[in-house]
Structure 1
């Protein structure tokens, strides 16, 4: 494909294979809250599972950078993709109790290792100016898989959400396992990864962890990097708070399963039009400008969500379009902005440290979301609007971009 011809083999093969994760993953993640409610879990129990998942994710995230440097990007991705996705998908297929969901979500928390290793595997050998393209295509594939959600909606209407999702979880586990093994065969360790495996081969994990946290501490005194970290961490926290969005649409706004199943489709079409038509025609802007635009869109969409009348499909879809555009641009350019401002040999440690803080702050979000939603569903989404307004204030502190400058100077460390 011409679109991928200028990319190295790691991102190219990963992009080709991503649909094997994205298709089942998008469907089950979208319907997960309804699947758990169908199994008899309460709002509080769902929120508690999310918080415990995030707590263990925080613990695993502490070691993600050091493990990735020690084992390599490729091997770490294979091991923990299977532990975090293949095994839980099979458990979820048979989950009918709080404890089975809990076990699956605890295993899924190890995906934090993959968050670091896979992002580095697909991005480290890519030219800096092409990194937003890689993130953009990956995000587009995941979002585009949402066009299949109405098909799941058809089946759910006939067989119920429990039976339908159980089959999709099981089939998804098979598809993902095949994908992880094939991708491992086709990709290769990055150049920086090879160097760091050698450097860290005799380094103890705890010592490496200490070095990463010290490096992260220095970042707080770096004026150019600090607001980028705040935006990354806080926007992820907001994403966690949105967990009950689909439940809100069904229970509070009284939209049917058929209408709800089209939300991922509208999201996917919005993202594809943005990536393939709109963004290529825009004047070339810095990553900082795109991040600012995305936060403004997310704020507007979240505010509009509060005023959707019960059963008003056109206003629902307009809100979804604005939120989809804002979220896609934010995730694409926020991640590229962070990666481009980190030094070559600090990427694993710094990215892992940012993810650690992100997860630590997100830990209470699951339980907090359940409590807020249980008390007042609209209050939860009002809090989200307030947090986006905080991000709009942080945007003003983003530095004026310089010519491809990296904030953290590249140097080797043990």
Structure 2
């Protein structure tokens, strides 16, 4: 009985019990995205490479799609206000994931992969709406725990990830990944239907939908020029955006070129690619459930610093890894898993705490568009670095982690109103 009472007092359990409605529904259905995504992610780049897409073309796909994402992200804020958070989330899930995955499943060359990646850009519409749907009716004090639950939901794939490695070993990679993409399309269709049935429009969403009724989309697009000065005048928001941009770039670079690095340079078997996400997920789950709630004494700056240090140490170990250095790669995965558990929920919560609730949708869209725009050149740049030496993209990430540490040193903990400076 005492053990049950203790678990009920756990910060994560308490937040899940107190935040009914949208937060709980979205947390519970997150595995419908997280399971297939994490099953495919270790093989996605190698899948393209095996079908004849070169390192430079992979980087070009990243840069082209990021340019498209910038445009779509701007419209995402407008659609979120005019159509509502719920309906816009459904549009992004269906067109940005379900339809895109069907194209990925049948892709055979550079152009088909590019088309699939461009379709996936519609997920940027979902990004703005989904964040609003998740947190607008929630207690701001619970944001770190809510984002922690979202991360945990995505990590449920740990229980299924061995299947992709087993199937790749038995049937070869390309046919297995094609089937996984088909399954991904089905799960995202199911996620869209569940959102329609069990989620509701937020209070702020209803207000914004009424306020923008009769306002043309072009006029709303032009109003972004009034939001930009507000972004530039907020030191706390600028710091949060800077951290988000850096992690967007490093995640893009590391996730895209990790599989090529460990298989083509270090000589590890592609079968190991399914093991690394398992280890990453186990470490993150243990840390988030057992340690995360004990760090409330220093909500942002110290955990972010520690996470960056772990990211940097892991990346350095990977760069210096010897041929067939499985131990070094495992160390990299362990260090980065703890780093991600510390950084991911806090960088997202830090961003939302600094946003004006009245303009959350369009400010989120503006920030997403800015993040993607600033990151855009680095996809091609990382592909070029990888073509010279597959260690170089990770050396570039190491530099960015050092820059992020400088930014975090200027972050202050949230005050009584929730905002930082």
Report the TM range for the smaller structure's normalisation: over 0.9
Q: Give the length in aligned residue pairs.
A: 408
Map 1:192-207 onto structure 2 (within 5 A): 192-207=204-219
Q: Which residue of 1 aligns with 2:46?
A: 34
Moved more, 275-284 or 30-39: 275-284
Quick check: 2:86–2:196 contact (8 Å CA) kept in 1?
yes
Partners of 2:202 and 2:321 in 1: CA distance: 48
Q: Which residue of 2 aligns with 1:69?
A: 81
**Secondary structure of the residue that 1:311 maps to in structure 2?**
coil
Map 1:3-402 onto structure 2 (within 5 A): 3=13, 4-242=16-254, 243-282=256-295, 284-402=297-415
Partners of 2:110 and 2:72 in 1: CA distance: 22
Q: What RMSD in Å do the two structures reach over aligned CA positions?
A: 1.7
| Deviation sequence 1:68-103 (CA, Å, 0-9, x none) | 111110000111211101111111111112221111
Quick check: 1:144–1:271 contact (8 Å CA) kept in 2?
no
Quick check: 2:42–2:274 contact (8 Å CA) kept in 1?
no
| Deviation sequence 1:4-50 (CA, Å, 0-9, x none) | 22112101111111212211111122311011112121112211112
Quick check: 1:90–1:170 contact (8 Å CA) kept in 2?
yes
Gapped regions of structure 2 (runs ≥ 5): 1-6
Q: Using structure 1 for the length normalisation, give the TM-score.
A: 0.94
Quick check: 1:62–1:352 contact (8 Å CA) kept in 2?
yes
- By how many angstroms is 1:230 displaced? 1.0
Partners of 2:418 and 2:97 in 1: CA distance: 36
Quick check: 1:144–1:269 contact (8 Å CA) kept in 2?
no
Q: Which residue of 2 aligns with 1:411?
A: none
Partners of 1:183 and 1:354 in 2: CA distance: 25
Partners of 2:113 and 2:328 in 1: CA distance: 34
| Deviation sequence 1:133-177 (CA, Å, 0-9, x none) | 111111122133144222211110111111001111112211210
Quick check: 2:292–2:342 contact (8 Å CA) kept in 1?
no
Partners of 2:71 and 2:361 in 1: CA distance: 16
- By how many angstroms is 1:404 displaced? 3.5
Moved more, 244-253 or 362-371: 362-371
Partners of 1:328 and 1:119 in 2: CA distance: 19
**Secondary structure of the residue that 2:235 maps to in structure 1?**
coil
- By how many angstroms is 1:276 displaced? 0.7
| Deviation sequence 1:112-146 (CA, Å, 0-9, x none) | 11011001101111101111111111112213314
